[in-house]
Chain A
């Protein structure tokens, strides 16, 4: 079945450093979504990418969807302690079944002040 992979599962950065993480799917995706979960909290939707090569920005966060629509990246510029948490990517399990998502295992980001 479809797999969505995020490696590594943990990353530690110094505050102010940039951070990039990647998400890879075993199949072509109609869209990809990113969620953030703060420690002790629940996943919260960040963004959805639909078009091949699409790039979207949210303040210091930049999201990109690959040309082949099988991978995506999240880049954080000048990390802050507020960026701490686990970032999940998720893609629909099959075309047309957008609400049934496969989640990656997530990457947990820690930021040293």
Chain B
């Protein structure tokens, strides 16, 4: 049981390039989300999904797209990278049933946009 996995761990992009951050979970969780973490800003929700085929925007969605074609995968796409998107990105998953809704975080992707 690998939990939540993210690839790549590190990435450097030039302004204007596009890329996809991968996230996968093997816990059959319905809920998945993407956060970015910047110094002094805590964890800010970018996009989330409550199940396959369903996605919605969080606090800071601009510049990012997501899709959820399967329960396991929730990729985050940067269409045209900007220096303001330099950050650490965390994917998380949670079960929407049961008494607790613990979020399980992946190890993160450290992205630098030059």
Contacts and interface: CB of A to CB of B under 8 A. Distances in A.
Interface of A: 9, 31, 33, 35, 41-45, 48, 50, 88, 90, 92, 98-101, 103-106
A16 B63 CA distance: 46
A88 B99 CA distance: 20
A99 B43 contact: no
A11 to B, nearest CB: 14
Interface stretch (B11-19, B76-84, B104-112): B104-112
Secondary structure of the A side of the interface?
Answer: loop
15 contacts: A33-B102, A41-B107, A42-B105, A44-B105, A50-B99, A88-B42, A88-B43, A90-B103, A98-B101, A99-B95, A101-B103, A103-B35, A104-B42, A105-B41, A106-B42
B48 interface: yes
B94 interface: yes
Nearest to B96: A99
B34 interface: no
B53 interface: no
Interface residues of B, number: 26
B40 A99 contact: no
Contact of A103 (B43, B104, B106): B43
A41 B100 CA distance: 23
Contact of A43 (B40, B95, B105): B105
A47 B106 CA distance: 18
Nearest to A50: B99
A70 to B, nearest CB: 19
